[in-house]
Structure 1
Amino acid sequence: MSRSERFIQIEQLLLDHPDGLHQIEMARRLGVHKSTICRDVAILTSMLPLMEDSSGRILLNKSGYLHTLRLTMHELEALHLSARLFCKVMKFPFPHASAALRKLAEAQGKVSPALASRIRDTAEELDWFVSGNSKKYSAYRKIIEDLGIAISEKRPVVISHFSRGKQIFQQFRLFPVTLEPHPEGKAVHLIGWDIDTDPPFFRTIKSERIESIILGSPAPELFATIPIDLLHEQLRNAWNIWTSDSEPVTVRLRFSTDVSDRVVETQWHASQSIEPLPDGGLIWIGHIAEPKEMYPWIRGWGPDVEVLEPEWLREQHREDFLRGVSLYKGTDV
């Protein structure tokens, strides 16, 4: 086995063993002397982010590891579209996003200079957001990086979070599970398994309101008890990110002929179904975990939508509509 082949195998061994391996164990697995591995590790340290823990295990620092990825032009375009959508909808800087896009552009430069140029333009747009919020961005970046470490290494955390409703800081001890964007709120939310409640449940926290994070030690055995499949099921029923332990609520909306074409051409929710009406309008039906989350979308259709059910949402929409009309009393239309 050549040295270059051995380097590749050492890298793969460390990727497969995130807790690290002793040099004597790597030597045994690769069938070489420990002194050979010792020399290899010394050389690889300049090529890979290797670390040695207190017990002498060699491991990869995942936060500094550069992954090799091969993408087709079409796959790169799909990633670029995702970044463009995030950039247009979220309207705030997200850590490391522009750096990732510049690497994609560099990788694509020789195949499609035009696509590479568009990817760099998006990176510039993201950097422009950062320039106007440099002080705030620095603190937010640290929060996102710590959450990324906690998710990757299956660590519990103690989070200090500001509650807008209560106007106080609250502390939560939980396992971060995933970060989810909220397009209508133009924010990123953390979904974590709250381990201090009885019974535990998935708590959703707006990441921009997190004041501080204390990282705990990795606890993969405890993390393995979290019902991740339940979270996936709950998110499928959500309009965006609001979940519920209850059964989804049936929402029925009547859309006018003026907007029916626009409504029908988009898949607004995985559960939706459409019933055409004789006058050219339509009935939209969806099964939503928490209909309050979709209410801004409903209101956005103005007088071209009528809420049919649930009854409480119909009443709320009626009251809001009347309150809006009262603002224009005495105004010529």
Structure 2
Amino acid sequence: MKGERVAQLELLLHSHPEGLRRAEIARRLGVHRSTISRYVDELKQYIDIYEENNLIKIKNREEDESIALSVYESLAFNLSAEMLASSTEFQNPHLASGLRKIAMNMRSYAPKISENVIGLAEQIDKQLQEKKESSKFNAILEVLIDSWVSGRIVRIVQSLKGFDPIETELAPYFIGFREEDSGGRNPISVTGRLRHTTEIVTIDISTITSATILNETYTIPDNLKPFKFPESEERYESIDMIPLSLKIKERSAMNVFRSVVHGTPVFEKQSDGSQICNMDVENSIELYLRIIQCGDSVEILGPESFRKKFCKLLNKILALYQ
């Protein structure tokens, strides 16, 4: 069985097909340079590696297929890679690894583009080393990907600013970018079904602080769309919407509004620990029922006309039992 450091060395060499110097390997693994030779000797028992011009490399197998892109495809790939490297909120080591592998195949026919792509990979690596939050983000992303690929449910803990952590269990269906109207942000999100329900949610992965795969399987429906987006404003034209203002005592109370058409909630934290939530919501009997379901965890602050109608409905309900 390979040790942890030897396994890390293998991953590192696979990610750098152009080879790495011993000093660079030691720096990336966080060990002394004198120990690298031992790791290399141990790794040689499992895979074919060699040293050339002071660079340690993995020997390509004959069955490994190379990617042959035209110069036009190579340039288009380079431009796309630059956009991806600059717009991704959290850099990913697997992106850097993939870029290097493709760049190595370009060296013979597009050397300058190859150098540019390798430079982008180095830029990603540098950002990963500088940002500790990227390491945590990527660790959670890998757990979600493993859960998705293996078809097993994952337990996640989500932390939203101003609220207590929320634990839930999710069956991941899709992982990818999602556009948001606010600030042009494109977070990497996971869309899936909440366990024991038919409800589909989309969660910003950067808000997840913990992810654990459970030993319970699930299947992805064939006819499912990639993402469940919030209802767009255009969808509200035929619906009677009201500018609802609520005082929220418990963050979990907001879950009951998922079945109601509403706009983006805007929260304002109060000195007593509660939250004021303002959002446009459909004016329907469903909304009344969801607020009743919250009990005393939610209080209607406005509009005043809606608050009066709600109180009138409660009095009618109470009259049935008096």
TM-score, structure 1 normalization: 0.46
- Of the two structures, which has the highest relative contact order with CA contacts closer than 8 Å and spacing of 6 or more? 2
